[in-house]
Structure 1
Amino acid sequence: MVRVAILGATGYSAKEAIRLLLAHPHAQITALTTRQDDLPHLGDVHPSLRGRLDLRLENLNAAQLAERADCAFCCLPHAASAEVIKEILPLGMRAVDLSADYRLNDPAVYKKWYDHDHPDAARMAKTVYGLPELYRERIPKSQLVANPGCYPTSTILPLAPLLKAGLISPDGIIVDSKSGVSGAGRTPKLNFHYPEANESFSAYGVGTHRHMPEIDQVLSDFGGKTTEVIFTPHLVPMDRGILTTTYSTPTKPVDAATILAELRKFYANEPFVRVVDGLPTTKDVTNTNYCDLTARVVRGRVVTISVIDNLIKGAAGAAVQNFNLMYGFEETTAL
């Protein structure tokens, strides 16, 4: 049995991680942390989990965490997560980091996009990017895995195989993503307030969203050629889910059947990627760890459409998937 601590247990991703791990036959949640002054019971923070786990959220230092847990699911904000991780790893703990702290390899790029120096810069380039469909062989021996962002997951999964196969050009890729409000986290903000977000549809972070360098880095690494996308996220008035549409230029004349065949070949043995003929919707994957995706060719451009649940495949579900690989459990356990 692997003892698990959930760091930053008040948020939406933490709630989903707890819910999934409670059904995991090889995991035992032994600690929940908060940076708040009060130490509430889990059932008061997440009422849907009342009666399922009798633990309070606590302020625990690194030594206390290492004594009580073998692995940490870090659901803390960026910078705060790295501050904790750099202390618990030398004590023998393993970690799946759901923040953005270890997704980027270059400290200078991190500083440009996050406006501060990285607290644990030396570890950045050594950390495995936890997208099993691309980097599965690197995950099992890792002490620390960087869980991918939700938007990058929905973007990388349809594009990476096509770049790897040389079917699309790495230049001029446009990514258009729409996310439910839970993607912004649980901390109240004016533009996510119900009267502001309901019955409205808005773009944000145009050219400045922090997931853009993450997408560029992974596609460049996996595809073998420098790739820079134009990424535009949108806020949709629904609780959860992401739908991402990408537009790219084929390297030679191609039809949709060829693109779909390549995607099906690449994901033939992947338990959580489903290549579908029809147009997928966010409801098709709600509360699951699946990514459903498809492709079309429209006026000489390759168009892909993918959907995920931003809190599961885009966060907690992917973290459990990585946890399973790290400890040698069946990858689909609890998912």
Structure 2
Amino acid sequence: MTQSVLKAAILGASGYTGAETVRLLRNHPKVEVVAATGNALAGKRLSEIFPHLSGAYDLDVVTSDDVRWDEVDVAFGCLPHGTSQDLIETLPSHVKVVDLSADYRFRDAKAYSAAYGREHLAPERTANAVYGLSELYAEKIAGADLVACPGCYPTAVLLVLLPLMNPLVIDTDTIIIDAKSGASGAGRGLKEGNLFCEVTEGVHAYGVGTHRHTPEIEQELRLMSGDNSVEVTFTPHLIPMARGEMVTCHLRGDADAIHAALVQAYKSQPFVSVLPLGSPPPDTRHVRGTNECRIGVFPDRASGRVIVFGVIDNLVKGSSGQAIQNLNLMMGWDQALGLDVLLPLFP
């Protein structure tokens, strides 16, 4: 690619992550969105579907068959799992892919099948895809042709836990993760459980003991620690807000050692802040609309127990923002390019 501006296609532009990717790329000086796909809403303009995008890449939404792929350099896969690989496996080889679905996150295609209930179309390709946790795998992401962005929950959890795995500073037998996310994490599809009256004025757990982000989290913890026996207790909850995510990790270890490991891991990273010991806990409002993650470490009153919080915006750092950060790394650009202009939306 010799041109100074990459031509991008957004696959699934009619969903929340697709719209957020379009919004964020409006600030990117080296990427131009030239195509937006959405088979069910093909023929409409983006501004009809998302009025807030009016004037920013107000393209016609088309089917994937109508995209001129010879004019596209990179595709952002913003489609549901299963649907994403069905399209990505048909793309020309010159098109780089940043996939936001679950379809290429698992190194083992059998693990993907167990978690998502379908066979993988390209077992060898998912085995070789680069897992796109930007801060931890930047060297592998650089120059990659296919990057699989982590899920929103795994992003927050792994940013907290991976720096504690090697060298190991916690007891891996007692990792408990209490996670909470806004309703946008469930996608834009019409589902009874996502209706306003079903979500508002309450909090509920889901996927208890079975959530499919658990094996994704364990995959990365095992790889980093070298211990295939690592397991976690992970319980997600739906909170009546549009966006935002908090993970509360209950660990056994030393608070000072955990804090020091996290500070060391992220001292040069633009989007992860480890709060000083004694600071108030991080709040999802402090990162809303940004590509930031904030981490707070607190000793528990119970001897040897530590509580670590991580907060992100599930649609930005947990999805579209991290995808753009990964593209920057793939292209050898400053990883903050186009993302460092984002300040938190408050209140």
Provide the C-alpha distance between the structure 2 equivalents of 1:295 and 1:175, rounded to a whole number of angstroms. Answer: 14
Provide the C-alpha distance between the structure 1 equivalents of 2:210 and 2:158, rounded to a whole number of angstroms. Answer: 18
The one of 43, 47, 52 aligned to 1:48: 52
Report whether the alignment pairs 1:229 with 2:232: yes
Could you tell me how far 1:65 is from its partner in structure 2? 4.3
Matches within 5 A, 1:166-185: 166-185=168-187
What's 2:39 paired with? 35
Give the 3 Å change call, closer, same or farther, for CA 194–36 of structure 1 in structure 2: same
The one of 115, 119, 122 aligned to 2:121: 119
Report whether the alignment pairs 1:312 with 2:316: yes
What's 1:242 paired with? 245
Gaps in structure 2 of 5+ consecutive residues: 340-347
Check the 8 A contact 1:204/1:234 in 2, yes or no.
yes
Provide the C-alpha distance between the structure 2 equivalents of 1:293 and 1:30, rounded to a whole number of angstroms. Answer: 37
What's 1:287 paired with? 289
Report whether the alignment pairs 1:77 with 2:80: yes
What's 1:263 paired with? 262
Q: Aligned pair count?
A: 329
Could you tell me how far 1:219 is from its partner in structure 2? 1.0
What's 2:71 paired with? 68
What's 2:163 paired with? 161
The one of 145, 148, 152 aligned to 2:147: 145
- Superposed structure 1 runs of 4+ greater than 6 Å apart: none
Provide the C-alpha distance between the structure 1 equivalents of 2:24 and 2:275, rounded to a whole number of angstroms. Answer: 26
**Residue 132 of structure 1: SS of its match in structure 2?**
coil
**Residue 36 of structure 1: SS of its match in structure 2?**
helix
**Residue 39 of structure 2: SS of its match in structure 1?**
coil
The one of 7, 11, 23 aligned to 1:19: 23
TM-score normalised to structure 2 length: 0.92
Give the 3 Å change call, closer, same or farther, for CA 264–121 of structure 1 in structure 2: same
**Residue 134 of structure 1: SS of its match in structure 2?**
coil
Matching residue's letter, 1:24: H
The one of 172, 193, 199 aligned to 1:197: 199
**Residue 58 of structure 2: SS of its match in structure 1?**
coil
Provide the C-alpha distance between the structure 2 equivalents of 1:67 and 1:22, rounded to a whole number of angstroms. Answer: 22
Matching residue's letter, 2:231: E
35-44 or 17-26, which deviates more: 35-44
Could you tell me how far 1:120 is from its partner in structure 2? 1.8
Provide the C-alpha distance between the structure 1 equivalents of 2:161 and 2:274, rounded to a whole number of angstroms. Answer: 13
What's 1:276 paired with? 275
Provide the C-alpha distance between the structure 2 equivalents of 1:127 and 1:11, rounded to a whole number of angstroms. Answer: 24
Could you tell me how far 1:229 is from its partner in structure 2? 0.8
Report whether the alignment pairs 1:5 with 2:4: no
Provide the C-alpha distance between the structure 2 equivalents of 1:54 and 1:35, rounded to a whole number of angstroms. Answer: 17
Check the 8 A contact 1:100/1:146 in 2, yes or no.
yes
Check the 8 A contact 2:42/2:60 in 1, yes or no.
no
**Residue 112 of structure 1: SS of its match in structure 2?**
helix
What's 1:87 paired with? 90
Matching residue's letter, 1:123: R
Check the 8 A contact 1:163/1:169 in 2, yes or no.
no
Matching residue's letter, 1:181: A
The one of 202, 205, 208 aligned to 1:206: 208
Could you tell me how far 1:55 is from its partner in structure 2? 1.0
Q: Equivalent pairs: percent with the same residue?
A: 43
Provide the C-alpha distance between the structure 1 equivalents of 2:175 and 2:68, rounded to a whole number of angstroms. Answer: 43
Over the aligned positions, Cα root-mean-square deviation in angstroms equals 1.3
Check the 8 A contact 2:41/2:61 in 1, yes or no.
no
Matching residue's letter, 2:57: L
Give the 3 Å change call, closer, same or farther, for CA 188–198 of structure 1 in structure 2: same
Gaps in structure 1 of 5+ consecutive residues: none
Give the 3 Å change call, closer, same or farther, for CA 238–54 of structure 1 in structure 2: closer
Check the 8 A contact 1:295/1:304 in 2, yes or no.
yes
Could you tell me how far 1:61 is from its partner in structure 2? 2.6
Provide the C-alpha distance between the structure 2 equivalents of 1:319 and 1:35, rounded to a whole number of angstroms. Answer: 22
Provide the C-alpha distance between the structure 2 equivalents of 1:111 and 1:100, rounded to a whole number of angstroms. Answer: 11
Matching residue's letter, 2:330: M
Matching residue's letter, 1:60: S
Provide the C-alpha distance between the structure 2 equivalents of 1:50 and 1:188, rounded to a whole number of angstroms. Answer: 24
Provide the C-alpha distance between the structure 2 equivalents of 1:205 and 1:219, rounded to a whole number of angstroms. Answer: 20
Provide the C-alpha distance between the structure 1 equivalents of 2:315 and 2:262, rounded to a whole number of angstroms. Answer: 24
**Residue 237 of structure 1: SS of its match in structure 2?**
coil
What's 2:326 paired with? 322
Could you tell me how far 1:37 is from its partner in structure 2? 5.7
**Residue 61 of structure 1: SS of its match in structure 2?**
helix
